[in-house]
Amino acid sequence: EIKAVIFDLDGVLTDTAEYHYQSWKKLAQEEGISFTREDNEQLRGVTRRQSLEILLKGKTLPEDKMEELMVKKNEYYQELINNITMEDLIPGVEELLNQLQEDGYKLAVASASRNARTVIENLEIGKKFQLIADGYSVKNNKPAPDLFLYAAEELEVEPEECIVIEDAESGIEAALAAGMHTVGIGPEERVGQADFRYDKIKDIKLADIVQ
Ligand code: G6P
Ligand code: MG
């Protein structure tokens, strides 16, 4: 029996995947590194440091330079997310959250981002969630199951009583490793491992996934 629904944030509730892309792109241009929208697909659900490592394509830099680049990227990103409003909720999200709330499910956000709280505050959806687990909550990030297991523990439900909604391959992997039910949002090649897959969040049929 499903008791809780755990949402990823970036790319699920709002399209911050685009803002992450624009910030990395700006940094890459300054550093003379090529970086395309397609490359960005690999960064979904991946931590800031791992994203930088992927961007550098295996090139290693001294630690202080790594730090400097991560700080810069985050500054660019924060400039963009400052302008987020409730208008930036992905179509279908508000209706889905309202329905789940009405049906009595516990709701949580589990995001690898350290900016998750700002984004949620700007979207004005914080009150809908019993828990916000973010990039500060656990040490090992997705694809490790830790963040989702932490969320289940805090919500006082068992992993098998949770559904995770994710747009990232690493996120689906993490949720499966946690022993949770999974809904993937996006193309087959990205989230095909999920129990259910939809192109868009507004396509979700609640009766199918909450059984
Ligand atoms: C999410 C996004 C990633 C991002 C990560 C860390 O998982 O999907 O693209 O790199 O969070 O975000 P942060 O805001 O802490 O840099
Ligand atoms: Mg995501």
pLDDT single digits (tens) 80-120: 999 999 999 999 999 999 999 999 999 999 999 999 999 99
Confidence of residue 176 (pLDDT cuts 50, 70, 90): very high
What's the 17 CA to ligand 2 centre distance in angstroms? 7
Closest-CA residue to 28 (of 46, 58, 55):
55
Q: What is the pLDDT of residue 157?
A: 98
Average pLDDT over residues 169-193: 97
CA distance 145 to 142: 6
Question: Whole-model pTM above 0.90?
Answer: yes
3-state per-residue secondary structure call for the chain: CCCEEEECCECCCECHHHHHHHHHHHHHHHHCCCCCHHHHHHHCCCCHHHHHHHHCCCCCCCHHHHHHHHHHHHHHHHHHHCCCCHHHECCCHHHHHHHHHHCCCEEEEECCCCCHHHHHHHHCCHHHCCEEECCCCCCCCCCCCHHHHHHHHHHCCCHHHEEEEECCHHHHHHHHHCCCEEEEECCHHHHCCCCEEECCHHHCCHHHHCC
Kindly give, in sequence order, each residue whose CB lies less than 8 Å from that of residue 131, ignoring residues fewer than 6 positions away.
106, 108, 109, 151, 154, 155
pLDDT of residue 21: 96
The ipTM, to two decimals, is: 0.98
Strands 196-198 and 4-7, bridge-based pairing: unpaired
- In ligand 1, which atom is closest to the CA atom of 11? 8
Ligand 2: distance of its center to the CA of 156 in Å? Answer: 24
Burial of residue 118, with CB atoms counted within 10 A of its CB: 0-12 exposed, 13-18 middle, 19 or more buried: middle
pLDDT tens track for 15-68: 999 999 999 999 999 999 999 999 998 899 999 999 999 999 989 899 999 999
Binding-site residue positions:
8-10, 24, 43-48, 51, 73, 111-115, 142, 166-167
Kindly tell me if the per-residue pLDDT of 211 is higher than 80: no
Annotated binding site for Mg(2+): 8, 10, 166-167
**pLDDT digits 0-9 by tens, 133-150:** 999 999 999 999 999 999
By alpha-carbon position, which residue is closest to atom 2 of ligand 1?
Answer: 45
The reply to whether 195 belongs to the active site is no
Residue in this structure with the two tokens 């892309």, named with its chain if needed? 21
Pocket of ligand 1 (CB under 6 A): 10, 20, 43-48, 51, 74, 111-115, 135, 168
- b/e code 145-165 from CB counts within 10 Å (16+ = b): bbbbbbbbebbebebebbbbb
| CA–CA distance, 151 with 134 (Å, rounded to integer) | 10
Q: Which comes out higher in pLDDT, residue 210 or 52?
A: 52
Q: What percent of the chain has a predicted confidence (pLDDT) above 90?
A: 95
For residue 8, the CA-to-ligand 2 centroid distance in Å is 5
